[in-house]
Amino acid sequence: MSKYDVIVLGSGPGGYVAAIRASQLGLKTAVVEKESLGGICLNWGCIPTKALLKSAQVFEYLKHAEDYGLSVKDYDKDFNAVVKRSRGVAEGMSNGVKFLMKKNKIDVIEGFGTLKTGKKIDVEGKEYSADHIIIATGARSRELPSLPQDGKKVIGYRQAMTLPEQPKKLIVVGSGAIGVEFAYFYNSMGTEVTIVEYLDKIVPVEDDDVSKQLERSFKKSGIKIMTSAEVTSVDTSGDGVKATVKTKKGEEVLEADIVLSAVGIKSNIENIGLETVGIAVDRDKILVNDYYQTNIPGYYAIGDITPGQALAHVASAEAILCVEKIAGMHVEALDYGNIPGCTYASPEIASVGLTEKQAKEQGYDIKVGKFPFSASGKASAAGAKDGFVKVIFDAKYGEWLGCHMIGAGVTDMIAEAVLGRKLETTGHEVLKTVHPHPTMSEAVMEAVADAYGEVIHL
């Protein structure tokens, strides 16, 4: 039996990061992976979707070349080539993880791993043991009883990335990050897209103003949006698919080539030996403490299978914290109230902290500032005037309670707010921090200035 200090089950952005950090700290480490190194994020999630979205953005540029004083007469899309590029990007990133495993002298054990008692893992008949086992098995597309996925006419995000041909009509059920990103991609490619959202607004976790702006932008692009609506059944017996949608006005039948189910994720915790070992689970999540220790000593869990936000950067942060605690380092528990969320549709969305509604519900006396990109010189020059930056401060102490952005490139801007909140900065400190001009990022300073009644360019 092979013996290690640390074995990681799963090699996504939680698993492979945990393995690398463990190796850096001098621990003999192995990773067990049943499919491809990098997990869903690198192979079927974060990375390949961004490649698809970039192709959509470039295609949009070509369509609007005249807006920039340019004449492009002959252009078209090759849907299969767009998909192929996306898969190539994913393959390159997965190969990069292979290189990192080799560089850090981490053993990669291929196959389906099952947890055993006594801090052991069985991988298809062969046993391995470790002083510490980290479970990082991630999640998959969740299925609704009314929307069973057949992989052809009713699909999840995985099939949405590799369709053999572009659908003429697509229904997207769910308007979280996955739903709106695919809605934007397919709409940009020329597919007729309808979004069906159960709640009363799209991107429901975002600030109300952000949701309203995205709905305006999407409708302007030709995307049909149905909120407070529920798909109660689908009929796939014909050439396409018929979805029965229940709304406040009654039932409506929508016809499309394909329905994309984007209604959340399901933790991959079945058949991995949790019951055998006695690891506690509640509502599809493995229960852990602040350092990702389960109720059974020597077993840990990180990423989408734990109660925190199901985001790649959260899994990576949890991985590092978990391993550093194992190695005896002094670590602070992760602040889940200061995790940035990003959606990569067009316009992009980025946010951190409390929404305006949440801040009021928690009893804060607040100052709210908002700066539209229509007043930004850089945004005007770039032809990207949709959106705004919105900031929320505690009126009494100046604490930065929340920051919400929608517009071009805002996913690259949100880190300023995350860092500012981590360092407990105040509104006045942000206001007096000189931002470069002309940039999209100066909209943050201008929004803060608006909150304090000092805005110059609005």
Query: Cα separation of 19 and 107, whole Å?
Result: 9
Q: Which candidate, 436, 434, 305, places its Cα nearest to that of 377?
A: 436
Helix axes 46-63, 177-189, angle to 10 degrees: 40
Question: Among residues 167, 123, 135, which one has the least CA distance to residue 1?
Answer: 123
- Determine the angle formed by the axes of helices 15-24 and 312-326, rounding to 10 degrees: 30
Q: What CA–CA distance (Å, rounded) separates 41 from 110? A: 18
367 is an annotated ligand-binding site residue:
no
Is 190 annotated among the ligand-binding residues? no
Alpha-carbon span 320 to 21, nearest angstrom = 6
Question: Known binder of ligand: residue 420?
Answer: no
402 is in an annotated binding site: no
Measured CA to CA, the distance from residue 268 to residue 23 in angstroms comes to 25
Question: Is the dihedral angle over the CA atoms 135, 411, 405, 333 positive or is it negative?
Answer: positive
Q: What is the dihedral of CA 247, 252, 253, 254, to 10 degrees?
A: -70
CA 242 to mean position of chain CA atoms: 29
**454 labelled ligand-binding:** no
Neighbours of 124 (CB within 10 A): 12
What is the greatest pairwise CA distance in the chain?
Answer: 69
330 assigned to active site: no
Q: Is 181 annotated as a binding residue?
A: yes
Catalytic residue among 132, 404, 428, 437: 437
Q: Is 261 annotated as a binding-site member?
A: no
CB contact at 8 A, 395 and 401: no
Q: State yes or no: 456 annotated in a binding site.
A: no
244, β-bridge pairs: 233, 253
214 with 197: CB under 8 angstroms? no
Edge to edge, the sheet with strand 341-343 lists: 341-343, 348-353, 400-407, 388-394, 366-372
**In sequence order, what DSSP letters do the residues of 311-331 get, joined into one string?**
-HHHHHHHHHHHHHHHTT---
Query: Residue 31 and residue 133: Cα distance in Å, rounded?
Result: 10
Residues 6+ apart with CB under 8 A from 191: 166, 167, 168, 169, 170
Give the CA count within 13 Å in the CB-facing half-sphere of 166: 20
273 is in an annotated binding site: no
258 annotated ligand binder: no
Q: Is residue 409 marked as binding?
A: no
- The residues facing 341 across adjacent strands are 351
Helix (H) or strand (E) holding 416: helix 415-422
Active site residues: 437
Output the known binding site for FAD.
50, 113, 304
- Return binding residues for NAD(+): 174-181, 197, 264
- Binding-site residues sit at 50, 113, 174-181, 197, 264, 304
